[in-house]
Amino acid sequence: MAEGEPPAVPGVNGSIHICDFPGGTESPESHEEESSQSSAAQYNQDLKSVLVTSVLNLEELDVDLYRGTHHWVPRSQRLFGGQIIGQALVAAAKSVSDNHYAHSLHCYFVRAGDPKVPVLYQVDRTRDGRSFTVRSVKAIQHGQPILICQASFHMLQPSPLQHQFTMPVVPPPEDLLTVEELIRLYLSKPDLGEKSRQGLNKLLANEVPIEMKPVQPPHFYRLAAVEPRTLFWVRARGYIGEGNMKLHCCVAAYVSDFAFLGTALLPYPNYKAQFAASLDHAMWFHSTFRSDEWMLYECESPWAGGSRGLVQGRLWRRDGVLAASCSQEGVLRVKAVTEPSKL
C-alpha cells in the first residue's frame, strides 16, 4: 500500500444446530427467545439502525414503484452496491406474502450509481407459485437501469435433507477490536507518515452503518502477500429487533457487499486497485438470523484473472448455523505500487 493510501478496511484481511429456513430442528421461536434476551443486554433500543430507518425505508411512489435514498457513499463516489441490492430486495419483498421468505437473489450492476440523485425501483411480479414467488427489480437512475435483480421467495417446506459446513473456529467478537479501534491504534504509532494519518482520519470520519471486527487485523507495516481468505465479525449498527426476517435478509444483502471484493487483492500487496467495482452479486439465505447481531463473514477468492476477481462468502450465526452464502465477480484494474510503505 503506498504512502498516503488509506488501508483497505482492515480485516478483510463446534457443535452445530442444523436449521432449514426459516424452521428446522431449531425453531425460529427458540432463536428469537434467545435473541431477545441477548439483545436487551447488548443494545440501547433507542439507537435504531439507520439502515432500517433510512436506507431500507423506501418511499412508495406508485404500485410496484419505489424510491430509495442514500446514506453512506464510498470514496469512489459511485453508489455502494450493497445499498442498491438491499433496496432492490426491499422493493421485491413488498408484494410477496408474509409466509414466503427470500431464499436467493441474483443481481448485475450494469452502470455506476450516481450519489447525487435517488434511485427508483421498478418491480415486475414475474411469478406467484404455490411454493415459490419470483420478482424482478430494475434499479433506475437518469432513465437507465443501474442494477437488474431477480429475487426468489420460498414458503417454509421442511425436509429430512439437512447439512452444512462447519463454522471456522475463531475468537469471539468480544475478544477483538473494531475497525475504528484498530485505526485509532495505528494513529497512535509515532512513525506514521502524515499522508497515512490523513487517510486513516478520513476512514474514521466515514459513517458506515456497519460494525466490523477483523479476526486477523493487518500488520501495521506493509502487508506481505497472503492467501485470498479473510474472516471478520460483522453486524448492522444500532437496534433492528427480531421478527421481520425479510428485513434482516435485506440488511444482510447490504452488509454482504462490504469489504468483499477486497479479498481478491490480498495476494497482491505490490498492486493497488485503480478501479474496483462489483459486476454481479448472488446470495442464498439458509436460516433465520439477526443482522444486528454479530455474524462471522468468511470470505475467499478462488480465482482472479483478466482484470476480474471472483469472491465467495459465508455468513455464519455465532452459534454455528450457516445463515447465508454469497458470490460476486468484480472488475479489478490495478497498478504496481512503487514505494513500499507503512499503513
Ligand X SMILES: CC(C)(COP(=O)(O)OP(=O)(O)OC[C@H]1O[C@@H](n2cnc3c(N)ncnc32)[C@H](O)[C@@H]1OP(=O)(O)O)[C@@H](O)C(=O)NCCC(=O)NCCSC(=O)CCCCC(=O)O
Question: Active-site residues: which are they?
Answer: 257, 278, 328
Residues 105 to 144 in contact with ligand X, rule: CB under 6 A = 109-113
With binding defined as CB under 6 A, does residue 232 bind ligand X?
Answer: no
Binding residues among 13-52 for ligand X as defined by CB under 6 A: none
Query: Sheet holding 322-336: strands in order across?
Result: 59-62, 65-68, 119-128, 132-141, 144-155, 100-109, 271-285, 322-336, 308-317, 295-305, 229-236, 210-214
Residue 60, Cβ density class (10 Å: 0-12 exposed, 13-18 middle, ≥19 buried): exposed
CA Rg value for the chain:
20
> What angle is formed at CA 241 by the lines to CA 292 and CA 100, rounded to 5 degrees?
95
Three-state DSSP class for residue 87? helix
Residue 257 in the binding site for ligand X (CB under 6 A): yes
Q: Verify binding: residue 258, ligand X, rule CB under 6 A.
A: yes
- CB of 64 closer than 8 Å to CB of 123: yes
- When the beta carbons of 152 and 278 are compared against ligand X, the nearer one is 278
Provide the minimum distance between the beta carbon of 141 and ligand X in the complex, in angstroms, as a whole number.
11
Tell whether residue 233 is a contact of ligand X (CB under 6 A).
no
Residue 80 or 289: which CB sits closer to ligand X?
A: 80
Nearer to ligand X, 221 or 275 (CB): 275
Residue 293 binding ligand X, by CB under 6 A: no
Residues whose CB falls within 8 Å of the CB of residue 85, separated by 6 or more in sequence, listed in order: 105, 107, 147, 149, 253, 254, 256, 257, 281, 283
Tell me the closest approach of the beta carbon of residue 259 to ligand X, in angstroms.
4
Q: Does 7 bind ligand X (CB under 6 A)?
A: no
Least Å distance between CB 333 and ligand X? Answer: 5
Name the residue nearer to ligand X (CB basis): 210 or 323.
Answer: 210
Among 78, 106, 189, 195, binds ligand X (CB under 6 A): 78
24/313 with CB nearer ligand X: 313
Return the residue nearest ligand X (CB atom).
81
Query: How many positions of this chain bind ligand X (CB under 6 A)?
Result: 21
Determine phi and psi for 201, rounding to 5 degrees: -65, -35
- State which of residues 80, 285, 289, 316 lies at the interface with ligand X (CB under 6 A): 80
Nearer to ligand X, 107 or 176 (CB): 107
> What residues contact residue 153 under an 8 Å CB cut-off, 6+ apart?
92, 93, 96, 100, 101, 102, 103, 132, 133, 134, 135
* 274 C-beta neighbours (distance < 10 Å), count: 9
Site for ligand X in 300-339 (CB under 6 A): 331, 333
Q: Out of 7, 22, 81, 86, name the contact with ligand X by CB under 6 A.
A: 81
CB-neighbour burial class of residue 177 (10 A; exposed 0-12, middle 13-18, buried 19+)? middle
Contact 222, 62 (CB under 8 A): no
Amino acid present at 281: H
Which of 223, 277, 334, 337 touches ligand X by CB under 6 A? Answer: 277
The gap between the terminal CA atoms of the chain, to the nearest Å, is 7
Smallest separation, CB 108 to ligand X (Å): 8
Binding site for ligand X (CB under 6 A): 9, 74, 78, 80-81, 109-113, 257-259, 261-262, 275, 277-279, 331, 333
